[in-house]
């Protein structure tokens, strides 16, 4: 009797011995290579995983990755995401948004000079930075939720490093050709053709990096104004500094370092291990279906072997240079390009898609035992993330809905705390600051409440019983107010310090804002 394992090994040896070999001239390599003639015209790609898990040393110099161009559903999704995100980044500073006269008309701007963040109709003042904190917390929690559901989907599609690296590789492919052509070009001696292709590649990378740095600084000042100042040499010095920094880092990280950023610099691959579980959807090689793997000859059937024909197509398209068949790895960004490459091969050999697919560990264990696909998206981990997101979202939503367009602050003068008048009355001096967050001028009636018999006057408007304070759009006005309590009323105050309120009433809409303070007497 021959065991199943021995029979499989015997069959594989038989297959290899019966396959004919032909010597072909590879148009992308200078030397001749012996290539196995396989079924359906599929050649095994001469590529090795540069980060193979079983052979990973403690230290090794970088092996350049030459990702092959992929085709298929996930590649198309990545093209669309890349085009959309780059369009938003580069064009958003130029989008105009009318906020009224005297105010920035840029839709999205971090106005450092005036201490505001403008996002369409939303304006965030320095005292409202808790809203920014809330948005950042919501973003982090959403990332946790997406990771728990579908692994490093952020890394594979939306991370800036992935988007710009995809763009840089596409430009490199335009000037130097696809994978084999780039390998051949690197092996060639330095000729005029090589200098031209390499030079144009790097010039294109620098142009993209410069556009990236230029777009970044436009978010901090009116874009048309800053662009004109920048090219004429009249922009502020920080604009040139940050332009140079962003340009240099984009060129270095997107064009040169590439996958090294994800492997060694980014902390997220290490953190995300705590976010996934047995029910997280991850790009997975279904070894129960693919093994034992090996080349396929035309007359060979599928009995006694797996669906993987060991063509290395999944390795060739991987931008990280790994072999997904080695199992889960820190380097994998879940871009799913290996799924497209494998499905394309499965079409050629007449096998169903899904040898490499988004799958869960629990589902794999079920399928190995003959069960079906098991998806468990709603589970304690995801429910907890969703609940916390809802809670924080409710807080941020309430803060946005209760966001006022009028604010007032009152500061009592400390030296002196009070002034004893000649008629026996006592006067306190206050600095009142009224902030008008609206996009039009508003008039406010200023009064006091909670201090019987007291009289309030405003410096420069002493004759007005109820002073009318005019505040221009999106600005802060500071006034000096005097509150006097006559001698006859001083005895009615409960102590040396009496609480009362300043009241600012919008003359047009009637909206009121109050601010408490204390009146002091001897």
- What confidence tens digit (pLDDT) does each residue in 493-512 have? 888 889 999 999 888 878 88
Cα dihedral sign for 385, 387, 388, 389?
A: positive
**Residues 142, 209 share a domain:** yes
The domain that holds 492 is classified in CATH as 2.60.40.10
Mention every residue, 6+ apart, whose C-beta is less than 8 A from residue 6.
none
Is 9 inside a domain boundary? no
Rounded to an integer, what distance in angstroms lies between the CA atom of residue 27 and that of residue 32? Answer: 9
Instruction: Indicate the residue among 347, 368, 389 that finishes a domain.
Output: 368
Instruction: Indicate the residue among 273, 306, 328 that finishes a domain.
Output: 273
Query: Are 35 and 43 a contacting pair, CB within 8 Å?
Result: yes
The per-residue pLDDT for range 417-446, each reduced to its tens digit, is 899 999 889 999 999 999 888 777 888 999
Q: What is the pLDDT of residue 269?
A: 87
Rounded to an integer, what distance in angstroms lies between the CA atom of residue 408 and that of residue 434? Answer: 5
**Residues 493, 516 share a domain:** yes
Cis bond before residue 195 (omega within 30° of 0) = no
**Residues 172, 288 share a domain:** no
**Residues 92, 48 share a domain:** no
Instruction: Indicate the residue among 368, 397, 415 that finishes a domain.
Output: 368
**Residues 231, 123 share a domain:** yes
Give the helix, strand, coil percentages of the chain, each rounded to 5. Answer: 45, 20, 40
Tell me the residue range of the domain where 357 lies: 27-57+275-368
Tell me the mean pLDDT per 10 residues along the chain, length 522.
Answer: 41 39 37 44 73 63 89 96 96 91 88 88 87 95 93 92 96 95 94 96 97 96 95 94 97 94 90 87 93 84 89 94 90 94 94 93 84 82 96 95 86 90 92 86 89 89 84 87 90 87 87 90 86
Give the total number of structural domains in the chain: 3
Is 50 inside a domain boundary? yes
Q: What is the pLDDT of residue 62?
A: 77
Cα dihedral sign for 462, 465, 471, 475?
A: positive
Is 187 inside a domain boundary? yes
**Residues 49, 101 share a domain:** no
Rounded to an integer, what distance in angstroms lies between the CA atom of residue 472 and that of residue 486? Answer: 35
**Residues 259, 138 share a domain:** yes
Q: What is the pLDDT of residue 159?
A: 94
DSSP classification of residue 110: E
Is 20 inside a domain boundary? no
Is 386 inside a domain boundary? no
Tell me the two tokens of residue 468.
């009318």
Q: What is the pLDDT of residue 57?
A: 62
Q: Is 197 helix (H, G, I), strand (E, B) or coil?
A: helix
**Residues 296, 269 share a domain:** no
Closest CA to 66 of 163, 148, 184, 241: 184
Rounded to an integer, what distance in angstroms lies between the CA atom of residue 160 and that of residue 249? Answer: 12
**Residues 453, 317 share a domain:** no
Provide the terminal-to-terminal Cα distance of the chain, rounded to the nearest Å. 111
**Residues 94, 42 share a domain:** no
**Residues 242, 140 share a domain:** yes
Closest CA to 461 of 479, 473, 476: 479
Is 1 inside a domain boundary? no
Tell me the two tokens of residue 449.
């409440």
Rounded to an integer, what distance in angstroms lies between the CA atom of residue 185 and that of residue 224? Answer: 42
Is 41 inside a domain boundary? yes
Q: What is the pLDDT of residue 21?
A: 35
Q: What is the pLDDT of residue 61?
A: 73
This prediction has a pTM of: 0.78
> Exposed, middle or buried by CB within 10 Å (0-12, 13-18, 19+), for 213?
buried
In DSSP terms, 116 is beta-bridged to 111
Q: What is the pLDDT of residue 433?
A: 93
Rounded to an integer, what distance in angstroms lies between the CA atom of residue 447 and that of residue 41? Answer: 89
Cα dihedral sign for 81, 84, 90, 96?
A: negative
Is 453 inside a domain boundary? yes
**Residues 482, 340 share a domain:** no
Q: What is the pLDDT of residue 113?
A: 82
Please report where in the chains the tokens 């609206």 appear, as a residue: 438
Q: What is the pLDDT of residue 16?
A: 39
Closest CA to 305 of 358, 366, 355: 355
């Amino acid at each position: 009797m021959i065991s199943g394992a021995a029979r499989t090994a015997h069959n594989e040896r038989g297959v290899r011995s019966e396959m004919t070999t032909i010597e072909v001239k590879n148009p992308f390599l200078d030397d001749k290579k012996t290539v196995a003639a396989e079924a359906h015209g599929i050649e095994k790609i001469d590529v090795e995983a540069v980060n193979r898990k079983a052979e990973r040393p403690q230290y090794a110099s970088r092996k350049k990755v030459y990702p092959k161009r992929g085709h298929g559903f996930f590649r198309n999704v990545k093209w669309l995401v890349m085009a959309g995100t780059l369009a938003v980044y580069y064009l958003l500073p130029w989008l105009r948004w009318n906020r009224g006269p005297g105010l920035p008309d840029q839709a999205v701007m971090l106005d450092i000079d005036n201490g505001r963040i403008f996002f369409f109709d939303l304006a965030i003042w320095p005292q409202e930075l808790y809203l920014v904190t809330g948005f950042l917390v919501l973003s982090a929690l959403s990332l946790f939720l997406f990771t728990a559901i579908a692994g490093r989907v952020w890394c594979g599609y939306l991370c800036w490093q992935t988007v710009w690296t995809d763009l840089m590789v596409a430009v490199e492919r335009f000037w130097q050709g696809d994978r084999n052509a780039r390998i051949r070009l690197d092996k060639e001696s330095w000729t005029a053709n090589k200098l031209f292709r390499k030079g144009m590649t790097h010039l294109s990378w620098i142009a993209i990096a410069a556009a990236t740095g230029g777009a970044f600084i436009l978010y901090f000042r009116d874009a048309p104004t800053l662009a004109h100042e920048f090219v004429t040499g009249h922009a502020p010095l920080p604009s040139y500094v940050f332009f140079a920094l962003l340009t240099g880092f984009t060129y270095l990280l997107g064009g040169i370092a590439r996958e090294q950023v994800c492997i060694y610099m980014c902390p997220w691959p290490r953190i995300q291990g705590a976010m996934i579980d047995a029910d997280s959807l991850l790009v997975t090689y279904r070894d129960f279906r693919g093994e034992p793997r090996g080349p396929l000859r035309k007359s060979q059937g599928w009995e006694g072997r797996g669906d993987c024909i060991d063509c290395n197509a999944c390795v060739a398209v991987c931008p990280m240079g790994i072999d997904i068949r080695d199992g889960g790895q820190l380097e994998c960004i879940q871009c799913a390009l290996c799924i497209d490459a494998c499905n394309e091969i499965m079409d050629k050999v007449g096998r169903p898609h899904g040898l490499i697919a988004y799958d869960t560990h629990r589902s794999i264990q079920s399928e190995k035992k003959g069960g079906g696909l098991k998806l468990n998206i709603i589970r304690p981990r995801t429910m907890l993330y969703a609940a916390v997101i809802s809670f924080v979202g409710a807080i941020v939503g309430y803060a946005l809905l209760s966001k006022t367009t009028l604010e007032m602050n009152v500061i009592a003068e400390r030296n002196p705390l009070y002034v004893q008048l000649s008629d026996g009355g006592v006067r306190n001096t206050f600095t009142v600051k009224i902030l008008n967050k609206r996009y039009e001028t508003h008039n406010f009636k200023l009064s006091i409440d909670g201090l019987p018999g007291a009289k309030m006057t405003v410096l420069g408007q002493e004759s007005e019983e109820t002073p009318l304070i005019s505040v221009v759009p999106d600005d802060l006005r500071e006034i000096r107010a005097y509150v006097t309590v006559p001698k006859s009323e001083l005895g009615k105050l409960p102590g040396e310090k009496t609480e009362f309120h300043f009241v600012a009433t919008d003359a047009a809409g009637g909206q009121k804002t109050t601010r408490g303070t204390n009146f002091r007497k001897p």
